[in-house]
Amino acid sequence: MLHNTITPIHKRLEDYRRLFEIARDLASTLDLDQLLERIVAAATDITEAEAASILLYDNTSRQLYFQAATNIEQPTMRGLVVPLEGSIAGWMVRNRKPVRISDAHQDPRHFDDVEQITHLKTQSLLGIPLIAKDKVVGVLEVINKRLREFSDTDEDLLLVLGAQAAIAIENTRLFQQSDLISEFVHELRTPLASLSTATYLLLRPEISKQQHDQIIHNIHSEAMSLNALASSFLDLARLESGRILFRFSPFNLTDLLYECKDVMQVRAQEENIRMLVDAPDNLQQLEADRDKIKQVVLNLLSNSIKYNRPEGSVTLGGRVIDGEMSISVIDTGIGIPAEAMPRLFEKFYRVRESENKADGTGLGLSICKQIVQGHGGRIEVKSKAGHGTIFDVRLPLKPKGIKYDTQKRQTLR
């Protein structure tokens, strides 16, 4: 086997090459997840460990959450949290010191909930705190050294990788924030301008009672849209930064579709729109974050009513197709012009023709996409201008859990 011919000196050179490559990528990539994936992969190889993970610390909830791991898929990671008190990772955050343990189960700080999900029993563990600008942002851990115990050299190499991960996290966070905030401020300009015009008009003595009432009505509706914009913006910012945890549980999608229909009943009646649910009662259970999936369905359903025509209809579908859950929202509305399709899921994007038809923030579809992708699913749209639109969401029936055992390279479940 090739493995046996690699001498320690060759291995060390190879390790330095990996470190160098990561340092180089750091300057050029802004895709945090991709970079952290590479850092955890390098950490397992360099320290000859079975698995590696990066957990980020959230000061508000005083918990750590998984951001990258060699043995856990994205959707599962979203639901995994580790408390600050009563865990080795939390100890590293609080004490700002590395940890090296040969038998984690003998250590009173060990938190074993995660093992029940990954099915990977932690034996030995080496971890370091990730420090950026003097603040602990998280930890990098490797577990189960093959053959031997973790050494001083392993710790030194992990510290180099950790320093790189910390810079990457800090850079992307700053970048994401500045990008989102400038877009948000831009979106605030129009409603703020119309509010200030409205107050200016109100102060003029010559306006009639009728004009006065109309202006008050406009102020109220602008304030409501600003409110909607602020909540959607916060939702999206949290989703984009990976700080929203998904709580997976099995549930019946058909029930959820009827619930959403009830929520929208009054709105649909106002526009004379018929809503139908097309899903079997005995539909296979879906294991997902119920509240978040409800948010997706309500968003799509609300759009299909807003951008419909009087006497139109909306059908909410739920069925299993090719081992995945399909949720469809089909409307007979104004449709989406072909040239708008590529930009539809962009933040703040709204089709010009529909802007006059209904109020909106242009954030709903971005939120849906983040939630669906966070579940390991996808969202697709088909539409014909003037005829109607179909949104189709596909979700795995359960979160895909474990990637593979790095040694055996095969799927565990």
Nearest approach in angstroms of CB 237 to ligand ADP is 15
Does residue 370 touch ligand ADP according to CB under 6 A? Answer: no
| Residue at 186: amino acid letter | H
Does residue 75 touch ligand ADP according to CB under 6 A? Answer: no
Does residue 312 touch ligand ADP according to CB under 6 A? Answer: no
| Binder of ligand ADP out of 129, 162, 333, 376 (CB under 6 A) | 333
| Binder of ligand ADP out of 67, 71, 389, 406 (CB under 6 A) | 389
Stretch of residues binding ligand ADP (CB under 6 A), selected from 10-18, 120-128, 159-167, 330-338 = 330-338
Q: Cβ closer to ligand ADP: 124 or 389? A: 389
**In whole angstroms, how far apart are CA 37 and each of 42, 72, 74, 127?**
9, 11, 11, 17
CB of 334 closer than 8 Å to CB of 386: yes
Ramachandran region, residue 133 (left: φ > 0; alpha: ψ -120 to 50; beta: rest): left
Stretch of residues binding ligand ADP (CB under 6 A), selected from 5-13, 24-32, 84-92, 355-363 = 355-363
Q: Cβ closer to ligand ADP: 365 or 371? A: 365
CB of 259 closer than 8 Å to CB of 295: no
CB of 275 closer than 8 Å to CB of 264: yes
Nearest approach in angstroms of CB 362 to ligand ADP is 4
Does residue 360 touch ligand ADP according to CB under 6 A? Answer: yes
Does residue 336 touch ligand ADP according to CB under 6 A? Answer: yes
**d(Cα 273, Cα 302) in Å, to the nearest integer?**
12
List phi, psi (to 5°) of 169: -65, -45
Stretch of residues binding ligand ADP (CB under 6 A), selected from 66-74, 240-248, 250-258, 357-365 = 357-365
Does residue 354 touch ligand ADP according to CB under 6 A? Answer: yes
| Binder of ligand ADP out of 172, 304, 332, 370 (CB under 6 A) | 304
**d(Cα 100, Cα 290) in Å, to the nearest integer?**
39
Stretch of residues binding ligand ADP (CB under 6 A), selected from 109-117, 137-145, 206-214, 302-310 = 302-310
**d(Cα 22, Cα 401) in Å, to the nearest integer?**
27
Nearest approach in angstroms of CB 203 to ligand ADP is 32
Nearest approach in angstroms of CB 358 to ligand ADP is 7
Q: Cβ closer to ligand ADP: 163 or 237? A: 237
Q: What is the dihedral of CA 315, 297, 181, 195, to 10 degrees?
A: 60
CB of 400 closer than 8 Å to CB of 73: yes
Does residue 239 touch ligand ADP according to CB under 6 A? Answer: no
Q: Cβ closer to ligand ADP: 174 or 276? A: 276
**d(Cα 80, Cα 99) in Å, to the nearest integer?**
21
Nearest approach in angstroms of CB 324 to ligand ADP is 22
Does residue 168 touch ligand ADP according to CB under 6 A? Answer: no
**d(Cα 130, Cα 385) in Å, to the nearest integer?**
51
DSSP calls for 24-60: HHHHH---HHHHHHHHHHHHHHHHTEEEEEEEEEETT
- First-to-last alpha carbon distance for the chain, in angstroms, is 28
Q: Which parts of 192-211 interact with ligand ADP (CB under 6 A)?
A: none
Q: Which residues sit at the interface with ligand ADP, rule CB under 6 A?
A: 299, 303-304, 307, 331, 333-336, 344, 349-351, 354, 360-365, 389
